[in-house]
């Protein structure tokens, strides 16, 4: 090191503290371990979906559990073909897509309007409703299943041919989504609304023509959450929807199909894992595609992920 630099009064040697270096190493090691904990089950699922029963049994307890069987690609093709065609999992997947599309539209309309009213309008009892929304967010959904079942089956009088409404209607309203909309709309400047009202726009006109176009991040966030919720829902549809034992088109969503397929005696482990891969792909694709909007939605809603 240059002696002139060392003699300067404000000179400080550029040394990385040992504690900082050790802390970074520990941080990265913990991160790698946690990543493996989450990634290994996915690798195991993907690898097992490409194997037959013999190859699967031979790989148990070895590193091959997490490696696909490239030598028998025909087996992987048969696994996915059987799940999609022989067990009709595509019908259940189509049901889930339809349910999710309807629920997303209803959630955006109903919860969006409710969140707009809570964020921008003044009316009697607003503070009480705000308290109830925050309170109901922490109430577990499981506690309301029995009362909800009684409402749907008894008070609404829904029979076999109308049980699809019993799946869609409760999912159309979400306290958490109302809270998200409310938090997001509170950050939109009032000048946009005032300008629209000066042009003669009504309250609904302001919502649909001004607020909604400015709310793409939160709309994408709510849409993704609704899709994941409907796609992963099992308990409530299993309680409401009838099984298709008579050979008619099944009304059950994709998650109930997994339970049905798993209970088949002749099904192989590879076919079970193939069905899990198929059900995981839509969630992965949609979340990756909308990840940017989800981060923006949470950021502008004043929430921390």
Using CA atoms, how far residue 248 sits from 33, 164, 262, in Å, is: 48, 15, 21
Domain ranges of the chain: 3-72, 87-300
- Looking at domain 87-300, its CATH architecture is Orthogonal Bundle (1.10)
Counting Cα atoms < 13 Å in the Cβ hemisphere of 193 gives 17
Q: How many CB atoms lie within 10 A of CB 43?
A: 14
Q: Is the pTM of this model over 0.85?
A: no
Q: CA 27 to CA 304: how far, in whole Å?
A: 22
Residue-wise pLDDT tens for the chain (305 aa)?
555 544 555 545 555 566 668 778 888 888 888 888 888 888 888 888 888 888 888 888 888 888 887 777 777 788 888 888 888 888 889 999 999 999 999 999 999 999 998 888 888 888 888 888 888 888 777 788 888 888 877 766 666 556 788 888 888 888 889 988 988 888 888 888 888 888 888 888 888 888 888 888 889 889 998 999 899 888 888 888 877 666 677 888 888 878 877 777 778 888 888 888 888 889 888 888 877 777 666 665 544 44
Distance CA(178)–CA(75), nearest Å, equals: 47
């Amino acid at each position: 090191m240059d002696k002139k630099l060392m003699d300067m009064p404000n000179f400080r040697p550029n040394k990385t503290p040992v504690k900082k270096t050790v802390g970074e190493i520990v941080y990265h090691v913990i991160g790698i371990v946690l990543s493996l904990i989450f990634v290994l089950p996915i690798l195991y699922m993907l690898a097992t979906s490409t194997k037959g029963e013999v190859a699967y049994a031979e790989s148990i307890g070895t590193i091959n559990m997490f490696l696909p069987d490239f030598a028998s690609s025909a087996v992987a093709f048969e696994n996915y073909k059987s799940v999609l065609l022989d067990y009709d999992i595509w019908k259940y997947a189509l049901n889930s897509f339809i349910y999710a599309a309807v629920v997303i539209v209803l959630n955006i309309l109903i919860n969006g309007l409710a969140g707009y009213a809570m964020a921008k309008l003044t009316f009697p009892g607003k503070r009480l409703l705000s308290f109830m929304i925050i309170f109901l967010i922490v109430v577990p959904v499981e506690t309301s299943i029995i009362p909800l079942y009684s409402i749907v089956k008894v008070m609404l009088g829904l029979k076999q041919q109308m049980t699809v409404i019993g799946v869609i209607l409760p999912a159309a309203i979400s306290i958490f989504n109302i809270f998200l909309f409310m938090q997001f709309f509170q950050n939109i400047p009032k000048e946009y609304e005032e300008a629209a009202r000066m042009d003669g726009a009504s309250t609904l006109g302001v919502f649909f023509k001004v607020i909604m176009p400015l709310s793409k991040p939160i709309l994408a966030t709510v849409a993704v959450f609704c899709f994941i919720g409907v796609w992963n829902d099992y308990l409530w549809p299993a309680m409401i929807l009838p099984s298709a034992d008579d050979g008619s088109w099944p009304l059950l969503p994709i998650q109930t199909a997994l339970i049905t397929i798993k209970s088949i005696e002749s099904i192989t482990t590879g076919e079970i894992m193939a069905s899990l891969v198929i059900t995981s792909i839509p969630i992965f694709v949609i979340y990756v595609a909308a990840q940017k909007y989800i981060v923006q939605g949470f950021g502008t809603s004043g929430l921390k992920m």
